[in-house]
């Protein structure tokens, strides 16, 4: 089938899926989980094909580790589906309701989008996660994973589709798109009217391409050039802990810090501490000339460094003369993901929170907390860095739209 045919089939499935009760959807999720575990051997075998191809092509061991599946990882995918079953169903929630002066009853009710397209890279566990989140929120899923994981994804989706059908819901609620050609991405981006929303997850290039070329509405996710700003009134111990955690807890993720801004008044006391600690943890500091004065290990930062999402053991560090300068720097270079201030000053934090335009602003907390799990959402489909529809970590309610239901008794204007 072509992508458009798959999208049309997804649309038909979406009608039944929208009408499915929570009980029906949860039963399907639990069956999907059981079947993944039962079919572990088949999935591991399919995954071995992808891993062999990847190894032949000379991909790094780190990438192969992201790709590889074993029984424990498949069990974790199943657990993720079981956790989804335990979460409340967003569909049918009454978001707003009132009785109007003329007696009309107005209700704004959560409904599924219909058909959700996901374009993603890397790990095959995203396939099960995305399929589960879409099903729980009543949406048909069109999954376009990476070419490198195509055999694994095909095995997983085959198991999931059978489980969904055996649970009495449409198999076409979950469909895998051809990942062996870029054409499937192009067709998906032009399937306006058949696909309700497209969520690209992956590198900046992928997201930029989708945002520029898609006529289907897009929810942009994930690019994070996150800053930690250490204010003149910062507590040094908190500033050190937050900087180190934001940069080194896990450096390949979008909510890791990529830049550190230090107020000039606190530079003498803070920079020696933080530069030593970063160095001892193997982090390369790309600093401006004022930062370079504090350590011989500082690499001179170029203009490019301020805008980079390193996703590695690198950090750009600058000294700023004021809170306003810090905010100007963030306005110029930030990607609207997560920005943190470390300060004991109510006035400074209030100004920073109001003046910084980002999905999340952290006050005396690590940038790493911008995460659906940490926020208590139970499930996350990505972190939106756009302002329309959803901003920040997206849980189940962010995968829904609403519908006004107005009930009268022959009312006319």
Instruction: State the residues that interact with its own copies by CB under 8 A.
Output: 15, 18-19, 98, 100-101, 104, 106, 108, 111, 113-114, 192, 196-197, 211-212, 215, 217-219, 235, 237-238, 241-242, 244-245, 249, 331, 349, 353-355, 357-366, 368-370, 374-376, 386-389, 391-393, 401-413
CB of 127 to its own copies, least distance (A): 24
Q: How far apart are CB 69 and its own copies at their closest, in Å? A: 26
* Token pair of 310 as six digits: 């390193």
From the CB of 339, what's the least distance to its own copies, in Å? 10
Least spacing, CB of residue 375 vs its own copies, in Å:
6
Cβ at position 153, least distance to its own copies in Å: 26
Shortest gap between Cβ of 132 and its own copies (angstroms)? 21
* Nearest in space to 275 (alpha carbons), one of 266, 265, 287: 287
For residue 148, which of 46, 2, 254, 250 has the smallest C-alpha distance? 46
Look up residue 348 and give its two tokens.
């400074």
The helix (run of H) or strand (run of E) holding residue 105 is strand 105-112
Query: Smallest distance, Å, CB 191 to its own copies?
Result: 13
> Please, which residue, 158 or 366, has the CB nearer to its own copies?
366
- Distance of closest approach, residue 5 Cβ to its own copies, in angstroms: 18
Give the residue with the Cβ less far from its own copies, 15 or 264: 15
For residue 223, give Cα distances in angstroms to 82, 207, 220, 257.
29, 9, 9, 12
| Residue length of the chain | 413
Structure token digits, residue 298: 């500082």
Question: What Å distances lie between residue 158 and 32, 150, 166, 268, 355, CA to CA?
Answer: 10, 12, 12, 60, 48
Q: Which residues, at least 6 apart from 107, have a Cβ–Cβ distance to it below 8 Å?
A: 94, 96, 97, 404, 405, 406, 407
Give me Rg for the CA atoms of the chain. 24
Of 106 and 299, nearer to its own copies (C-beta) is 106
If you write DSSP's letter for every residue of 6-23 in order, what string do you get? HHHHHHHHHHHHHH--HH
Q: Which is nearer to its own copies, 104 or 264 (CB)?
A: 104
* Closest distance to its own copies from the beta carbon of 349 (Å): 8
Instruction: Report how far apart, in Å, the C-alpha atoms of 2 and of each of 116, 177, 410 are.
Output: 17, 9, 46
| Cα separation, 304 vs 72, whole angstroms | 41
Q: Which is nearer to its own copies, 38 or 328 (CB)?
A: 328
d(CA 150, CA 180): 8
């Amino acid at each position: 089938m072509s992508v458009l045919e798959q999208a049309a089939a997804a649309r038909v499935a979406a009608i039944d899926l929208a009408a499915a009760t929570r009980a029906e959807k949860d039963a399907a999720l639990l069956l999907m989980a059981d079947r993944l575990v039962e079919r572990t051997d088949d999935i591991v075998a399919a995954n071995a094909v992808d891993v062999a191809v990847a190894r032949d092509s000379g991909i790094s061991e780190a990438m192969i580790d992201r790709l590889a599946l074993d029984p424990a990882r498949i069990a974790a995918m199943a657990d993720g589906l079981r956790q989804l079953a335990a979460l409340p169903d967003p569909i049918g929630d009454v978001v707003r309701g009132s009785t109007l002066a003329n007696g009309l009853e107005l209700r704004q009710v959560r409904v599924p989008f219909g058909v959700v397209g996901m374009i993603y890279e890397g790990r095959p566990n995203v396939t099960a996660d995305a399929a589960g989140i879409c099903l729980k929120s009543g949406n048909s899923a069109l999954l376009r994973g990476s070419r490198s994981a195509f055999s694994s994804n095909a095995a997983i989706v085959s198991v999931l589709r059978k489980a969904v059908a055996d649970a009495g819901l449409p198999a076409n609620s979950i469909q895998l798109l051809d990942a062996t050609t870029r054409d499937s991405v192009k067709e998906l981006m032009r399937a306006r009217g058949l696909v309700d929303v497209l969520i690209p997850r992956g590198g900046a290039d992928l997201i930029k391409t989708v945002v520029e070329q898609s006529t289907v509405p897009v929810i942009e996710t994930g690019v994070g050039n996150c800053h930690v700003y250490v204010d003149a009134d910062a507590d040094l111990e908190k500033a050190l802990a937050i900087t180190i955690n934001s940069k080194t807890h896990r450096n390949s993720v979008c909510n890791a810090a990529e830049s550190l801004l230090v107020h000039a008044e606190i530079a003498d006391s803070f920079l020696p501490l933080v530069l030593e600690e970063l160095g001892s943890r193997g982090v390369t500091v790309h600093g401006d000339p004022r930062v370079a004065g504090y350590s011989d290990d500082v690499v001179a930062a170029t203009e490019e460094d301020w805008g980079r999402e390193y996703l590695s053991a690198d950090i750009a560090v600058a000294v700023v003369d004021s809170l306003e300068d810090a905010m100007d720097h963030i306005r110029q270079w930030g990607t609207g993901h997560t920005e943190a201030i470390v300060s004991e000053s109510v006035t400074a934090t209030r100004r920073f929170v109001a003046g910084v335009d980002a999905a999340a602003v952290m006050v005396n907390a690590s940038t790493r907390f911008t995460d659906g799990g940490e926020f208590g959402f139970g499930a996350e489909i990505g972190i939106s860095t756009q302002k329309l529809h959803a901003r920040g970590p997206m849980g189940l309610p962010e995968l829904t739209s609403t519908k006004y239901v107005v009930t009268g008794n022959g009312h006319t204007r």
